[in-house]
Amino acid sequence: MNIAVAQSGGPTCAINASLVGVFKEALKEPQIDAIFGSVNGIEGIIHNHLVDLKTLILTNDDMELLRQTPSTVLGSCRYKLPDYSEDDSVYKKILETLEQRQIGAFFYIGGNDSMDTVNKLSEYFRQESVDIKVIGIPKTIDNDLCITDHTPGFGSAAKYVAATMREIVRDSSVYSIPSVTIVEVMGRHAGWLTASSAVLHALGETAPHLIYVPERSFSLDAFMRDVRQEMAKHKAVIVAVSEGIEVPEGVQSGVVDNFGHKYLSGIGKYLEEAVRKEIGCKVRSIELNVMQRCSSHLSSKTDIDEAEAIGSEGVKCALNGDTGKVMVFRRVNEMPYTIVIETTSAANIANNEKFLPDDFITPSGNNICDSALSYFLPLIQGELNTIMEQGIPKHFAIQESVLK
Ligand code: F6P
């Protein structure tokens, strides 16, 4: 049989490593012939836009390069499948492509929205008695997938956020005047990535002095009070704030994607202006923006290795006859950090969100408890031996004309 793999949702540093995992494992399996890559996620299957990965990833060096390349080499999408009981036309198109290409297993690397596709597609195939396996490989910097201990992509993003925050600490403390620096971190409605900046506390830094996550309600008055209190203790106050905390209408653009998720951005600027107006000190806001999900020069080796391993386990799972499953991590030991890869039904993950546990957040609601740091620290360990060209990390790329 042939197989197909696609990448979906927001980019991370580890999605291509999962692709490598699927690819490498499939190469080892004598029963798998062609390995197709679907361009722009499920949209590539719908429009029969597939590329033959064996003609594009030729050597072990290519795979090494792909592992260190951020984002999605095959492109991505935010496409929501309709309910097939209401409209099955797009399912028929998908089936047509898969049957025409003799694809017996489809691997979808994505977040909770993409697992909705895995769930619906596998259910549809079951109903139609079609023997095509559909397996989800998780990823997201938001770390908001249920069941799994963490998601591929999160560790690298967390490492970048904490390392960058530490650099900001050094930069912001040079002058004698008091200052406030607000760092806006992605993560949608879950505060995992923002909370992970607290690992700096384990390294002896007092910053971030304040950490605001969407799991707690936000009040501008309380924020100002907190900032003033921290300014009494520290010359340069560093604040980490999740993009998803509740803010007044109009701060964010209000634009939504196909899943109805708002494009979140702008909270840092809003708070910067509020501090300038009310406190009047030197204040700066920094939106880490897409850098936190594509800065692969500071990837976590643990994250990249795990992302490859979970992709490879996905192939084994399909060959064992499973479908409608998502691969997940279970942490079996904290010290030494040990995980095992298991599966769960896609229905348990699709469209659900996992939030920070209550006991990770301090009673004051404006910082992260030291006891939570042992969760984050193992995920950011290790560095890739990055291949460079002319002093810049080298990336694997597929020619634009091939992907058109
Ligand atoms: O879901 C991952 C994520 O990076 C979120 O943290 C962020 O809010 C969103 O994607 C941004 O969406 P886009 O990729 O469309 O800019």
Distance (Å) of CA 177 to CA 167, 180, 300: 19, 10, 36
pTM, rounded to two decimals: 0.97
| Residue 104 contacts residue 132 (beta carbons within 8 Å) | yes
Contact 36, 4 (CB under 8 A): yes
Distance CA 196, CA 183 (A): 13
Structure tokens that stand for 240 in this block: 């980490």
Q: What is the pLDDT of residues 286-325, one digit of tens each?
A: 999 999 999 999 999 999 999 999 999 999 999 999 999 9
Fold held by 2-141+148-152+297-350+382-403: Rossmann fold (3.40.50)
**Please, what's the b/e burial string for 28-40 (b: 16 or more CB within 10 A of its CB; e: otherwise)?**
eeeebebbbbbbb
Please report the pLDDT score of residue 211 as a whole number: 98
Residue with tokens 């040079």: 174
C-alpha–C-alpha distance, residues 125 and 112, integer Å: 20
Q: Alpha-carbon distance 172 to 284, whole Å?
A: 9
Q: Does the CB atom of residue 264 touch ligand 1 within 6 A?
A: yes
For residue 186 and ligand 1, the question of a CB distance below 6 A is answered with: yes
Output Rg (C-alpha) for the chain, integer angstroms. Answer: 22
CA atoms within 13 A on the CB side of 41: 23
Tracing tokens 């594509």 back to the chain, one arrives at 294
Nearest-CA residue for atom 1 of ligand 1: 10
Q: How many other C-beta atoms lie within 10 A of the C-beta of residue 273? A: 12
Domain spans, the chain: 2-141+148-152+297-350+382-403, 158-293
| Residue 2: how many other CB atoms lie within 10 Å | 17
Distances from the Cα of 109 to the Cαs of 4, 75, 272, 310, 384, in angstroms?
Answer: 11, 12, 37, 10, 22
CATH number of 158-293: 3.40.50.460
Distance CA 223, CA 177 (A): 21
User: Which active-site residues does the annotation give?
Assistant: 142
Q: Tell me, in angstroms, the distance from the centre of ligand 1 to residue 8's CA.
A: 11
Out of 186, 253, 353, give the residue to mutate to test ligand 1, the one with the largest number of ligand atoms within 8 Å of its CB.
Answer: 186
**Strand pairing of 50-52 and 35-38?**
antiparallel
CA 176/CA 188 separation, integer angstroms: 36
Question: Ligand 1 center to residue 293 CA distance, Å?
Answer: 9
How far apart, in whole angstroms, are the C-alpha atoms of residue 319 and residue 343? 14
Quick: pLDDT tens for 179-235. Answer: 999 999 999 999 999 999 999 999 999 999 999 999 999 999 999 999 999 999 999
Select from 137, 108, 122 the least CA-distant residue to 3.
108
Domain 2-141+148-152+297-350+382-403 and domain 158-293, same fold? Reply is yes
Q: How many residues does the chain have?
A: 404
* Ligand 1 atom with minimal separation from the 187 CA: 6
CA triple 131-28-317, angle to 5 deg: 40
Q: Which two tokens stand for residue 187?
A: 């993560």
Neighbour-count burial of 398, counting CB atoms closer than 10 A to its CB (0-12 exposed, 13-18 middle, 19+ buried): middle
pLDDT in tens, the chain (404 residues): 999 999 999 999 999 999 999 999 999 999 999 999 999 999 999 999 999 999 999 999 999 999 999 999 999 999 999 999 999 999 999 999 999 999 999 999 999 999 999 999 999 999 999 999 999 999 999 999 999 999 999 999 999 999 999 999 999 999 999 999 999 999 999 999 999 999 999 999 999 999 999 999 999 999 999 999 999 999 999 999 999 998 877 777 777 787 778 777 889 999 999 999 999 999 999 999 999 999 999 999 999 999 999 999 999 999 999 999 999 999 999 989 999 999 999 999 998 999 999 999 999 999 999 999 999 999 999 999 999 999 999 999 999 999 98
Find the 11 Cα to ligand 1 centroid distance in Å. Answer: 8
Q: Which of 112, 115, 142 to mutate to test the pocket of ligand 1 (most atoms within 8 A of CB)?
A: 142
In contact, 120 and 82? CB cutoff 8 Å: no
